[in-house]
C-alpha cells in the first residue's frame, strides 16, 4: 500500500473547489512526510499534544487543522500555529481561542461544529445555539477570531439516504447562517467541512467544500 498512490486516487475523486484535509492522527511522521512529498500540505489531527509534536518536527509550511474535540485548557498549546480549528462548539471555547490568539497577536480561524446525527455520541451545536453565539455581545467584541464556516459529522450508518439528509441539513444551516451573519466583522463563511473516508462522496453531493480523509489515504488506524 502506498500513501502517495492513495492520495492521488482520493484527489482524483474530489469535485472542483473541495479542499482535502489529510487526517494523519495516530500516524507517524514518516507517513506524513510521504504525503507531503506527494504535495499534500493540509493535515488534520484530533489531539493537541500529538499535533504539536508533529508541528515541531515537520516542515513549517504544513497547515495544521485541529479536527477533534477541544478542551479549553489546551488551546494555548496550539494557539501559535494552528491554521483551522474545526470542532468549536461553545461560546466559552470561542472566547478562550480569541484570548489565546490575542496573546500571539494573530487571528485564529474556526469552524463551528453542528450536531446533525441520529446518535448522542457526537458533539456539536443545534441551530438555536449556533445563532445564539453569532448574536451574542461577547462574540461581537472578539477581534482575534474569524468564523470561516461550519463542520459536522453524519451518523455512522449504511443508510445513505439518512447520511445525505444530514449533510444537506448542514448545507442548509450554512446557507441560512451566511445570509444572516456574514456581514459581521469576525464572520466570513466559506467552508463546509463534512465528509470522511466512508461518506465524503455523499458529502460533496450535498455541497461540502472541505473533506477530512484519513484511512483512505493512510490505511486503517490501530488505536
Ligand X SMILES: *Cc1c(COP(=O)(O)O)cnc(C)c1O
Residues lying near ligand X in the complex (CB under 6 A) are found at 23, 25, 46, 67-68, 153, 196-198, 212-216
* Cβ proximity to ligand X, 2 vs 215, nearer residue: 215
In the complex, the smallest distance separating the C-beta of residue 35 from ligand X, rounded to whole angstroms, is: 13
* Cβ proximity to ligand X, 171 vs 212, nearer residue: 212
Q: Which residues of 107-135 are buried (b: 16+ CB within 10 A; e: fewer)?
A: ebbbbbbbbbbeeeebbbbeeeebbebbe
In the complex, the smallest distance separating the C-beta of residue 105 from ligand X, rounded to whole angstroms, is: 29
* Cβ proximity to ligand X, 149 vs 214, nearer residue: 214
In the complex, the smallest distance separating the C-beta of residue 25 from ligand X, rounded to whole angstroms, is: 6
Termini Cα distance of the chain: 19
How many other β-carbons are positioned within 10 Å of the β-carbon of residue 149? 23
In the complex, the smallest distance separating the C-beta of residue 215 from ligand X, rounded to whole angstroms, is: 4
Q: How far is CA 74 from the centre of its chain?
A: 17
d(CA 154, CA 176): 20
Quote the DSSP letter at residue 85.
Answer: E
In the complex, the smallest distance separating the C-beta of residue 28 from ligand X, rounded to whole angstroms, is: 16
Residue 18 and residue 46 in contact, taking contact as beta carbons nearer than 8 Å: no
* Cβ proximity to ligand X, 147 vs 152, nearer residue: 152
Q: How far is CA 40 from the centre of its chain?
A: 16
* Cβ proximity to ligand X, 41 vs 143, nearer residue: 41
How many other β-carbons are positioned within 10 Å of the β-carbon of residue 9? 12
The residue nearest ligand X at its CB is 214
Amino acid at each position: 500500500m502506498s500513501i502517495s498512490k492513495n492520495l492521488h486516487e482520493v484527489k482524483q475523486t474530489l469535485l472542483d473547489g473541495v479542499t482535502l484535509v489529510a487526517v494523519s492522527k495516530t500516524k507517524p511522521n514518516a507517513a506524513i512526510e510521504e504525503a507531503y512529498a506527494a504535495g499534500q500540505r493540509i493535515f488534520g489531527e484530533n489531539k493537541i499534544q500529538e499535533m504539536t509534536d508533529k508541528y515541531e518536527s515537520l516542515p513549517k509550511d504544513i497547515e495544521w487543522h485541529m479536527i477533534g474535540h477541544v478542551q479549553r485548557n489546551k488551546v494555548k498549546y496550539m494557539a501559535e500555529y494552528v491554521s483551522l480549528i474545526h470542532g468549536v462548539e461553545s461560546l466559552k471555547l470561542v472566547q478562550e481561542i480569541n484570548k489565546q490568539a490575542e496573546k500571539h497577536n494573530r487571528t485564529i480561524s474556526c469552524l463551528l461544529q453542528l450536531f446533525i446525527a441520529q446518535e448522542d455520541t457526537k458533539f456539536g451545536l443545534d441551530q438555536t445555539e449556533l445563532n445564539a453565539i453569532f448574536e451574542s455581545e461577547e462574540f461581537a467584541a472578539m477581534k482575534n477570531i474569524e468564523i470561516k464556516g461550519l463542520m459536522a459529522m453524519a451518523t455512522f450508518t449504511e443508510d445513505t439516504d439518512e447520511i445525505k439528509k444530514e449533510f444537506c441539513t448542514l448545507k442548509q444551516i450554512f446557507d441560512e447562517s451566511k445570509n444572516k451573519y456574514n456581514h459581521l466583522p469576525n464572520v466570513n463563511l466559506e467552508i463546509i467541512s463534512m465528509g470522511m473516508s466512508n461518506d465524503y462522496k455523499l458529502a460533496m453531493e450535498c455541497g461540502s467544500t472541505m473533506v477530512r480523509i484519513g484511512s483512505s489515504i493512510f490505511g486503517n488506524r490501530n488505536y
